[in-house]
């Protein structure tokens, strides 16, 4: 059976154990939530020794299920004060599973900067003073040089070391590029523990257990074909998630000018289509069909180079383009790419950072659309400038300190680049998700028989999606193929069969719904014990009172509907 490895960074004690029977069918977000709920006092200081940092692989990790290798990072959040799981692609979930572990739990605080090395011989904690203060790119380079190409790396950047609430945990792709588990300040939890990095090398170890290989193989064949042939996955492959910029603009729900507009004149300039055009023009080094993890069959990731072919950034995604682009009225793609590189290098969440920069623009700290000014403002985090320090503490702190009334946060976390007055089911998810505002928890996009902008039926839509994506995050599957699977009964059936084949169980058609509900119940209960009430499930007033341009819509889902999601 897969194991749990608890490492006490204060004492150096390392304790492998079998997963408890009640956790044996959990991975990723569900396992992380269960560990945090059991081991962390909900009222504990998120940056103190009582908090834990969970690193969890999903149920699918290390198997042949396509896109099944997301890595979950969990903790009590220093940004929201509630429970948090942020996930990313990369190689580490697969390596963890190959070593026979479903999760690592980092407890206590190290006395000095440290790196934990995990391989088939066990776990070792080593001093890492030479890494402290380095950006994530340099950290990854140094650790790769020391531990070789078989290593997967998880690290925090200077932002995490400086305990900024917008800081992320960075992990590596097969080609050692950074991917970010961004949300909720999980990088600050890692930094507070003086844990600069975790290195995972699975050489010689293939301990992933599959109870029924034949059943898994049959399910995987159908899933792989179903995802590969999905039209939206083709669009993602061609233009990356940046193609969502023009789509959201056409639906009048692209976060623009601190959520005062749903359309942005410069949308094409910061879109995936523009990146694809640059690649087609022969810009050297541009790559549109990159994959962030082994087993991906979608290839939505991008590598962005400058006009001379020099690498600038990778994983240059919709949310970054929306929050730091349209939401700040920035249409300069080249500088946006440099900002994305900076954010990855110092290890911060581009959503939270983009939200903070936009409220700073609204306060008049810098002009709308000032890309170079935004770069300098963000870089001020590591230089310790007055405004840089504010940005690092997130959108809410920045907005309050600068006297801005329109602050787009829920439970202390900035919303993503989807306008909730137009996408009202997404708005309900922002309100009610125990993770704080998060599009990955249930983004309700318009469909054939679903009106996203009606005030009716949104609570049920949000509830269904929140359960589905909580289950997907527990399985460790990437969000994008999960979008292809959700509406297709046969693919959903095969995903359920795949999970059953791995765990040796026979699950019914409601498995994903039940799994998601179980995970959400743990998270909601943690937040309740941390002091969250119904009042924390309300939108900032401006979404209710101020029509968004040009649709003229306000958020008008009845409060009793919102409260019915977790009744
Ligand atoms: S679809 Fe995109 S985000 Fe998902 S695993 Fe593939 S490259 Fe990574």
Span 325-383, pLDDT tens digits: 999 999 999 999 999 999 999 999 999 999 999 999 999 999 999 999 999 999 999 99
Instruction: Check residue 432 and give its pLDDT.
Output: 97
Q: How does 400-432 read in b/e, with b if 16+ C-beta sit within 10 Å?
A: ebbebebbbbbbbbbbbbbbbbbbbbbbbbbbb
Nearest atom (ligand 1) to Cα of 300: 2
Q: Does residue 463 surpass a pLDDT of 80?
A: yes
User: CB of 318 closer than 6 A to ligand 1?
Assistant: no
CA of 233 to the centre of ligand 1 (A): 10
CA of 176 to the centre of ligand 1 (A): 15
Q: Does residue 447 surpass a pLDDT of 80?
A: no
Report the relative pairing of strands 114-119 and 83-88 from DSSP bridges.
unpaired
Instruction: Check residue 448 and give its pLDDT.
Output: 66
User: CB of 299 closer than 6 A to ligand 1?
Assistant: yes
User: CB of 4 closer than 6 A to ligand 1?
Assistant: no
Encode pLDDT of 99-132 as tens digits. Answer: 999 999 999 999 999 999 999 999 999 999 999 9
Nearest atom (ligand 1) to Cα of 233: 1
Q: Does residue 29 surpass a pLDDT of 80?
A: yes
User: CB of 292 closer than 6 A to ligand 1?
Assistant: yes
114: part of which helix (H) or strand (E)? strand 114-119
Which of 292, 315, 469, 483 has most ligand 1 atoms within 8 Å of CB, for mutation?
A: 292
Q: What is the pTM of this model?
A: 0.97
Nearest atom (ligand 1) to Cα of 295: 5
Residues with Cβ within 8 Å of residue 286, at least 6 apart in sequence: 275, 278, 279, 302, 303, 304, 305
User: CB of 298 closer than 6 A to ligand 1?
Assistant: yes
pLDDT band at 473 (very low <50, low <70, confident <90, very high): very high
CA of 234 to the centre of ligand 1 (A): 12
Q: Is 214 helix (H, G, I), strand (E, B) or coil?
A: helix
Which of 86, 91, 293 has most ligand 1 atoms within 8 Å of CB, for mutation?
A: 293
Altogether, the residues listed in the chain come to a count of: 567
Which residues is 144 bridged to in the sheet?
A: none
CA of 175 to the centre of ligand 1 (A): 14
Encode pLDDT of 190-227 as tens digits. Answer: 999 999 999 999 999 999 999 999 999 999 999 999 99
Residue closest via CA to ligand 1's atom 4 equals 478
Q: Does residue 8 surpass a pLDDT of 90?
A: yes
Strands (E), 173-237: 178-181, 195-201
Nearest atom (ligand 1) to Cα of 301: 7
Residue closest via CA to ligand 1's atom 7 equals 291
Q: Does residue 439 surpass a pLDDT of 90?
A: no
Mean pLDDT of 75-80: 98
User: CB of 355 closer than 6 A to ligand 1?
Assistant: no
User: CB of 346 closer than 6 A to ligand 1?
Assistant: no
CA of 480 to the centre of ligand 1 (A): 7
Percentage of residues of the chain with pLDDT beyond 70 = 100
User: CB of 89 closer than 6 A to ligand 1?
Assistant: yes
User: CB of 478 closer than 6 A to ligand 1?
Assistant: yes
Strands (E), 139-182: 151-156, 169-172, 178-181
CA of 291 to the centre of ligand 1 (A): 6
Contact 422/251 with Cβ under 8 angstroms? yes
User: CB of 263 closer than 6 A to ligand 1?
Assistant: no
CA of 70 to the centre of ligand 1 (A): 9
The token pair that represents 192 in the structure block: 């507070």
CA of 520 to the centre of ligand 1 (A): 24
Strands (E), 385-508: 409-410, 413-414
Nearest atom (ligand 1) to Cα of 297: 6
Contact 512/496 with Cβ under 8 angstroms? yes
CA of 237 to the centre of ligand 1 (A): 9
Q: How far is CA 15 from the centre of its chain?
A: 28
pLDDT band at 401 (very low <50, low <70, confident <90, very high): very high
CA of 258 to the centre of ligand 1 (A): 28
Residue closest via CA to ligand 1's atom 8 equals 292
Mean pLDDT of 449-465: 94
Contact 432/419 with Cβ under 8 angstroms? no
pLDDT band at 449 (very low <50, low <70, confident <90, very high): confident
Cα dist from 507 to 19, 368, 494, 499, whole Å: 20, 52, 11, 8
CA of 179 to the centre of ligand 1 (A): 10
User: CB of 88 closer than 6 A to ligand 1?
Assistant: no
Mean pLDDT of 551-562: 97
CA of 387 to the centre of ligand 1 (A): 34
The token pair that represents 266 in the structure block: 């410069």
DSSP string of 242-282, one letter each residue = THHHHHHHHTT-B-BTTTTBS--TTTGGGSHHHHHHHHHTT
Cα dist from 329 to 44, 459, 508, whole Å: 39, 32, 48
Residues with Cβ within 8 Å of residue 464, at least 6 apart in sequence: 442, 513
CA of 411 to the centre of ligand 1 (A): 28
CA of 561 to the centre of ligand 1 (A): 34
- Alpha-carbon distance of 462 to 505, in angstroms, equals 28
The token pair that represents 35 in the structure block: 């560990």
Cα dist from 258 to 289, 330, 361, 395, whole Å: 31, 12, 8, 11
Rounded mean pLDDT of the chain? Answer: 97
Q: Does residue 244 surpass a pLDDT of 90?
A: yes
User: CB of 258 closer than 6 A to ligand 1?
Assistant: no
CA of 295 to the centre of ligand 1 (A): 9
């Amino acid at each position: 059976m897969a194991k749990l490895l608890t490492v006490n960074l204060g004492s150096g004690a390392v304790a492998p154990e079998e997963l408890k029977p009640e956790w044996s069918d959990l991975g990723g977000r569900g396992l992380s939530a269960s560990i945090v709920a059991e081991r962390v006092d909900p009222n504990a200081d998120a940056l103190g020794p009582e908090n834990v940092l969970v690193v969890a692989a999903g149920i699918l990790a290390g198997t042949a299920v396509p896109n099944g290798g997301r890595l979950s990072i969990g903790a009590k959040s220093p940004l929201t004060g509630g429970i948090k799981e942020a996930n990313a692609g990369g190689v580490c979930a697969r390596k963890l599973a190959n070593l026979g572990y479903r999760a690592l739990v980092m407890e206590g605080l190290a006395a000095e900067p440290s790196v934990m090395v995990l391989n088939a011989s066990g776990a070792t904690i080593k001093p890492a003073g030479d890494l402290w203060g380095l950006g994530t790119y340099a950290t990854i380079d140094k650790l790769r040089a020391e531990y070789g190409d078989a290593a997967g790396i998880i690290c925090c950047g200077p932002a995490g070391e400086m305990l900024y609430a917008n800081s992320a945990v960075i992990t590596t792709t097969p080609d050692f590029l950074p991917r970010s588990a961004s949300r909720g300040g999980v990088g600050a939890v890692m930094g507070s523990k003086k844990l600069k990095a975790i290195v995972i090398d699975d050489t010689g170890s293939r301990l992933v257990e599959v109870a029924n290989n034949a059943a898994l193989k049959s399910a995987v064949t159908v899933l792989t074909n179903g995802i590969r042939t999905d039209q939206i996955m083709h669009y993602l492959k061609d233009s990356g998630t940046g193609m969502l910029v023009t789509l959201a603009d056409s639906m009048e729900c692209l976060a623009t000018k601190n959520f005062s507009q749903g359309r942005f004149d410069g949308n094409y300039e910061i879109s995936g289509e523009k990146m694809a055009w640059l690649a087609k023009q022969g810009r050297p080094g541009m790559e549109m069909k990159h994959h962030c993890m082994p087993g991906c069959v979608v290839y939505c990731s991008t590598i962005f180079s400058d006009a001379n072919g020099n690498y600038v950034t990778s994983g240059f995604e919709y949310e970054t383009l929306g929050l730091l682009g349209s939401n700040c009225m920035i249409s300069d793609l080249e500088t946006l790419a440099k900002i994305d590189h900076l954010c990855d290098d110092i290890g911060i969440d581009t959503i939270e950072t983009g939200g903070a920069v936009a409220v700073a623009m609204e306060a008049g700290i810098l002009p709308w659309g000032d890309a170079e000014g935004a770069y300098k403002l963000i870089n001020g985090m590591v230089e310790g400038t007055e405004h840089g320090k504010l940005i690092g503490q997130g959108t809410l702190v920045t907005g309050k300190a600068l006297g801005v009334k329109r602050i787009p946060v829920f439970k202390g976390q900035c919303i993503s680049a989807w306008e909730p007055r137009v996408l009202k089911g997404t708005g309900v998810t922002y309100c009610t998700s125990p993770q704080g505002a998060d599009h990955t928890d249930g983004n309700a996009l318009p469909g054939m028989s679903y009106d996203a902008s009606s005030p009716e039926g949104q609570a049920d839509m949000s509830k269904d999606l929140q359960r589905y994506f909580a289950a997907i995050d527990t399985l460790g599957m990437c969000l994008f193929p999960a979008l292809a699977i959700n509406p297709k009964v046969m693919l959903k059936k095969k995903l359920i069969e795949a999970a059953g084949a791995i765990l040796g169980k026979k699950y019914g058609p409601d498995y994903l719904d039940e799994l998601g509900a179980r995970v959400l119940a743990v998270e909601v209960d943690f937040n309740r014990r941390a002091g969250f009430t119904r009042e924390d499930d309300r939108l900032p007033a401006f979404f209710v009172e101020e029509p968004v341009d040009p649709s003229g819509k306000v958020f008008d889902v009845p409060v009793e509907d919102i409260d019915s999601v977790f009744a």
